[in-house]
Amino acid sequence: MRTQVGIVGAGPAGLLLSHLLARAGVDSVVLEARSREYVQQRVRAGVLEHPTVELLREVGLGERLDREGMPHEGVSLRFEGEDHRIDFTDLVGRGITVYGQQEVVKDLIARRLADGGDLRFEVSDVTLDGLADSPVIGFTDADGQRQELRCDVIAGCDGFHGISRGSFAPEVFDREYPYAWLGILAKAAPTQHELAYANHANGFALYSMRSPEVTRLYLQVPPDTDLADWPDNRIWDELGIRLAAEGFTLNEGPVLEKGVTGMRSFVAEPMRHGRLFLAGDAAHIVPPTGAKGMNLAIADVRVLAEALTPYFARGDESGLDAYSDTCLRRVWRAEHFSWWMTSMLHNAPDGDPFTRRLQLSQLHYTVTSRAAATSLAENYTGLPH
């Protein structure tokens, strides 16, 4: 088999890269270890930055997003029992859209298949060779046959636990946080239109939503939390305590999903090794507090597609040579913002009163200073690509 770009991973990064390349006349093959049904159903991030929404519309993927997405013009910071709204539209003239990652994946798969894209699910035993100048991807297909895909470039979009990053030895910057999120997806209509980030003496909580009928809610818990210790009634009681504010009500309903997710910051530098280019979670992880994960992946592949187009058209490698540095500038900005949001909103495990006072000071400053609120709004809604 032969193609121009071999893409490992059919998440938002790999699928969008394949779509962008097809629009530029560049061939690709996408390889994915999971089934199509699995990747279309796994629930991940749900906040799309303004530049992400603009890009999806620009490349013909905005129809269902505009019909079913939930535009938000601000968020709330909730502490000491009071709600403080950060008005994105007033501060920076743009907002965000709540539209689940799995919905973006569904849209991309449908479009790639309709356009004749080559997507291969349920592959296994993937190997990467010849990364210096003649890349080859080996894999076993869904029928159990061993295959070999020769290509000019490999895009490693296979996530944090994928094989791509392990194919070389980048410098790694890593931080694990001493807390996790217990998240639930509940069949309960949202009672407010926008997200609320709560700092409470019991710990952080996040009020979010996925649709007009489904809410997504999170509680700060220790990383070693056993879900058996958190029956549904305990979760709802704790959410009610941490999210409490004047005029706020919390709808309860059947819990559709429940899980505990650890939190870390991770960056691998460089994001390139020979003809292998990392994108998305394969190269970087951010704590979810800043809502940056999927948006960073989409920004990566936009840069990569724009670099690959002149390379295949006329052999111009300048964009490829600049790829890692270009992406990492955005990555480190997002890492800092996500760390800042996380440290401002989560309680220290040791209950240190000094740290608690610093958090409250930062929260008061953020909601009373237009300059501080603007900085939050600018970063949250997304810096220009």
Let me know if 365 is a catalytic residue.
no
Rounded to whole angstroms, the Cα distance separating 42 from 101 reads 8
How far from each other are the two terminal CA atoms of the chain, in whole angstroms? 34
350, burial (CB in 10 Å: exposed 0-12, middle 13-18, buried 19+): exposed
> What residues form DSSP beta bridges with 204?
199
Cα–Cα distance between 324 and 47 in angstroms, integer?
Answer: 25
Q: Catalytic residue among 50, 273, 284, 292, which?
A: 292
- The Cα 259–Cα 221 span in angstroms is 11
CA distance 108 to 286: 23
DSSP characters over 320-336: HHHHHHHHHHHHHHHHH
Q: Which of 72, 273, 284, 346 is catalytic?
A: 72
Per DSSP, the three-state class of 2 is strand
CA 80 to chain centre: 29
The first and second tokens of residue 90, run together, are 């007033």
Euclidean distance between CA atoms 92 and 110, whole angstroms = 34
Joined together, the tokens standing for residue 150 give 């020769």
Listed in order, strand segments (DSSP E) in the chain are: 5-8, 28-31, 47-48, 70-72, 74-79, 82-87, 96-98, 118-120, 124-129, 136-140, 146-150, 153-156, 171-186, 196-200, 203-211, 214-221, 255-269, 272-273, 276-278, 284-285
* Whether 72 is catalytic: yes
Residue among 12, 288, 323, 346 flagged as catalytic: 288
* Annotated active-site residue in 99, 177, 218, 380: 380
380 counts as catalytic: yes
* CB distance 121 to 93 below 8 Å: no
127 touches 166 (CB < 8 A): no
Catalytic residue among 197, 207, 218, 323: 197
Amino acid letter for position 95:
G
For 152, 206, 245, 261, 278, the CA distances from 197, given in Å and listed in that order, are 45, 5, 12, 17, 32
Active site residue 99: no
Both structure tokens of 161:
């636990």
Q: List residues with catalytic annotation.
A: 72, 197, 288, 292, 380
